[in-house]
Structure 1
Amino acid sequence: MKVLVVGSGGREHAICWKLSQDSNVDKIYAIPGNAGISSIANCLPFKVEDIDSIVKFAKENRIDWTIVGPELPLAIGISDKFKENGLEIWGPVKNLAKLEASKAFAKEIMRKAGIPTANFRIFDNFGDIKEFLKKERYPLVIKADGLAAGKGVFIVNNVEEGLEIANKLFNEEILGEAGKKVVVEEFLNGREFSLIAAIKGEEIYYLPPAQDYKRIGEGNTGPNTGGMGSYAPVPWIDERLIKVCDEKIFKPLMDEIHKMGLQYEGFLYGGLILVDGEPYVLEFNVRLGDPEAQVILPLLDFSFLSFKEGTWKDKKIKDKKAVCVVLASKGYPGNYEVGREIKIRESEEVIIFHAGTKWVDGKLVTAGGRVLNVVALGESFKEARDKVYKNINNISFENMYYRKDIALEVENL
């Protein structure tokens, strides 16, 4: 089989790594890939939004299956184009990618399906949101409607903070088109977790629940990022709770989708929160999480091709714990420098998934805010965690930054 992976981050490296272990996969291509991916796949210099070039490449090279990592190509209709050309692809069509590409669309469909989520209002101008924010109880959550690379969610604690964010979104247009419509939600207090399902037709398979760390600073402080680390499985999410999520969240959503005359195919990420023992939806994403993929995929004791075939019944999960720590460029998620040389002393104790890296004149250099993901498996979270942090000492680049408290709260579980 020839497989194409679209994307350039740690999630895509993890997907390529998992595919590379399968004897049925003859060739892996990546668009555009990164320095780490280039050791196991042929990387091609197209942009992920250049759908026509990607379709042309897939047709000419007779690609058997394409897996889409990031949300942008899905939001602009890559799956629709592939299907029109008789090509197999893993990821939902444009109308369903709106579950992530439009927070307002997602909230409306949840309301229709009776899915538990925070109460909300939708605004498309500064005047209306200003009046609303003056009368509401705080804290509140303000979300840009469109795609904002994980930087479109703001928790505001009082009317002044609320008006400041609303002004930045509507008047200063800090997020451009993404912030021209806004969802304001009640703040839910509870424990967050990520539950990702693989969906094909009527079949839903739940991957091991994961926990990610969105804030840049230790103790979950500072601005939101794309994710600074993760662990899986989540010890306090049991089979009973996954069954509740299935019955109250995922199945009602699929029923609503079927009423639209559509079928979902691909990963569906539930960003969930447990409030008084009941799960609520904070957000849906239409792909694998990043950095959740980096801890979930190493735990799967079966081929990634099972998702293509829908043959995941009774598939086994390794009885291990997985921990991932993201090494970032100092300044991320704001301004940061790139082009810094990276030195790595390899070790069999960890898997290193590349995120923002590239080769320049034979040297491995930084090329993004999130640079590397250091992942380890262990019999316990402590063992996995110890391996990760020990091996971070074998990696260096100028202005390297990482959180030192990833998976600390589950260390003794």
Structure 2
Amino acid sequence: MTDTATLAQKPLAPGLNRDDARSAAREVRKRRLQAFLFVTPLLIFILFSFVAPITTMLYRSVYNPTVADLLPDTLVALQGWEQSDERPSDAVLTQFAIDLKRLANDRTSGRLADEINRALPGMSSVVKSTARAVRRVDDAELAANGPALLIDANDRWAEPETWRAIKDAGRAYSLDYYLTSLDLERGSTGEIQARDTQIYVKLYTKTLWMALIITVATVLLGYPLAYFMANTSTSLSNALMVFVLLPFWTSLLVRTTAWIALLQTNGVVNSTLQAFGLRDDPLELLYTQFSTIIAMTHILLPFMVLPLYSVMRGIDSSYMRAAMSMGSRPLAAWFRIYLPMSLPGLSAGALLVFIISVGYYITPALVGGTDGQMISNIIAFHMQQSNNWELAAALGALLLILILVLYWLFDRFVGAANIKLG
């Protein structure tokens, strides 16, 4: 119901006629429209920069029509095959041989080989070599001897496992990439089981563990610094703020490269230790989890200091003095008075650092090596090198869900609303 209709049904205030009420309603609608127009650019930016990419990622994680588009007739023939211990009928193999020749002539057999190889490792070379073999055979011979030609080209075409992989890869919509992201797979009868090689769950665990260490490190370094800045003179506080903001004025690549120069075998740290006789052999500091943690702690420290400092500047120091004047020890007064009051800044800083570090990519890629890489590096690998966008989307979607769950748990049990003074 519109504002005008609503006002028409309500009793009017003394001295106000219905024309005035309609004019007031139109003015309210005008102001609301103006406010909406002001935020429209921001809404458009959020739509195209966040909503659309995330929606696309979630859609790509369950939708992959490549095999369905390449082998439509073969997949129709496979619908009547029960995934038993025997290979499909000769009619299915003949149809596949005809489709494979067509793909070889269209130079798209490589795409099919990549997709089937993801469902059954080792099939890429089998598909490509078979495509080269059937390409030279005329259609009449393929129709008459298709199964024999396939099996002569490679024995794996006689194995039911191969056709199960083709049938599974032919589903346009599937949750198999989420199973792979959780180190799971479907067995021969369709049951879900653990994969022989556990990769992604370990990477998720390592990523969360490293992000937690980085968050704790920034708290230990940033809290005393923010406390000192909030309680010192204005001039000194401004000077320290310059040093806190200095990393924002330096390129991320430059900061990361500086840590490489510091931590490498012949870098500043090892050269200094050897010059003072503290070490005979250089330490292996670079391309480890340690190098990733220390570099990211340095880079993300301002995200902890700034929220803490903004909250601590508003805390009246008289609360602490009043508590100690009533007999409380300084540590007890800080724990019961100052810490709860500074918790909003601590919570904001911890969430910022943790969430940013979980999705960090450049620093682990440059200084972490194999040991210090995080799940974001594997997502980038599948997007840029293996071209497995569906698996990358599933890994990213699980990471998004994991972050949202952790945020809800943090806000539910550790948030500032759960801490009370006293």
Bigger helix fraction: 2
Q: Which has the larger radius of gyration?
A: 2
Using structure 2 for the length normalisation, give the TM-score: 0.20
Structure showing the higher strand proportion among its residues: 1
How does the TM-score come out when normalised to structure 1?
0.21
